[in-house]
């Protein structure tokens, strides 16, 4: 089987498996661990990811391909680290309800829902964009990155916003 077919199947599999695994693990509760220190850490990881994504775009626009590559690999690693911490926190902690009211409540839920939906949707975009770069298909990589970047940036930035908005309501 050609490498492109294998990577495409792997991307599809991961794009389905990751959100399913997260959904399953959210239902698992592991008592006895206090991981309440994680939300500000994983919110900071989201913020750092956003900054590095912008830096990666600036690097490639300035012809610094190796810097771009390093920053993008770091962003992928940070996103994976975020996801592990996020799932661990939710497996060991009760859910926190947003306590705001009125328009702020609507804004919070709009941002939260769009963040969640796009965080699932961005997975195949990131993996496919990355695989195109790894295979040296830079024209198709660049074409897809134009869609991947703003979605990924939105997810990273809104992750911080969601944290800032809900943090007063943590126990």
Give the chain's mean pLDDT: 94
In whole angstroms, what is the distance from residue 114 CA to residue 110 CA? 6
Listed as own residue / partner, the contacts of 78-82 with beta carbons closer than 8 Å and 24 or more positions apart are 78/45, 78/48, 78/49, 78/52, 79/49, 79/126, 81/42, 81/45, 82/42, 82/45, 82/46, 82/49, 82/159
**pLDDT for residue 1:** 57
Question: Once rounded to an integer, what is the mean pLDDT over residues 61-73?
Answer: 98
**pLDDT for residue 5:** 79
Q: How confident is the model over 80-139, as pLDDT tens digits?
A: 999 999 999 999 998 899 999 999 999 999 999 999 999 999 999 999 999 999 999 999
**pLDDT for residue 2:** 62
Q: Is the model's pLDDT at 4 over the cut of 80?
A: no
- Print burial letters for 4-36: b (CB count within 10 Å at least 16), e (below 16): eeebeeebeeebeebeeeeeeeeeeeeeeeeee
**How many other C-beta atoms are found inside a 10 Å radius of the C-beta of residue 73?**
13
**pLDDT for residue 117:** 97
- All domains of the chain in start order, with CATH: 3-169 (1.20.120.80)
Residue 162 near residue 117 (C-beta atoms within 8 A): no
Q: How confident is the model over 26-35, as pLDDT tens digits?
A: 899 999 999 9
Q: Is the model's pLDDT at 149 over the cut of 80?
A: yes
Listed as own residue / partner, the contacts of 4-9 with beta carbons closer than 8 Å and 24 or more positions apart are 4/135, 7/131, 7/135
Write down the pTM of the prediction.
Answer: 0.93
Q: End-to-end CA distance of the chain, in Å?
A: 52
């Amino acid at each position: 089987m050609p490498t492109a077919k294998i990577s495409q199947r792997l991307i599809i599999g991961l794009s389905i498996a990751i959100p399913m695994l997260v959904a399953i693990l959210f239902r698992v509760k592991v008592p006895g661990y206090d991981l309440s220190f994680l939300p500000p850490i994983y919110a900071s990881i989201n913020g750092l990811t956003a900054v590095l994504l912008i830096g990666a775009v600036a690097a490639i626009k300035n012809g610094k391909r190796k810097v771009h590559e390093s920053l993008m690999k770091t962003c992928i690693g940070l996103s994976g680290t975020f996801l592990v911490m996020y799932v661990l926190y939710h497996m060991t902690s009760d859910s926190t309800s947003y306590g705001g009211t009125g328009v702020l409540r609507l804004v919070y839920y709009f941002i939260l829902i769009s963040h969640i939906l796009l965080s699932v949707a961005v997975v195949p975009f990131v993996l496919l964009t990355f695989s195109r770069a790894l295979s040296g298909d830079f024209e198709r990589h660049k074409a897809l990155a134009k869609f991947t970047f703003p979605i990924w940036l939105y997810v990273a930035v809104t992750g911080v916003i969601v944290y800032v908005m809900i943090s007063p309501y943590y126990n």
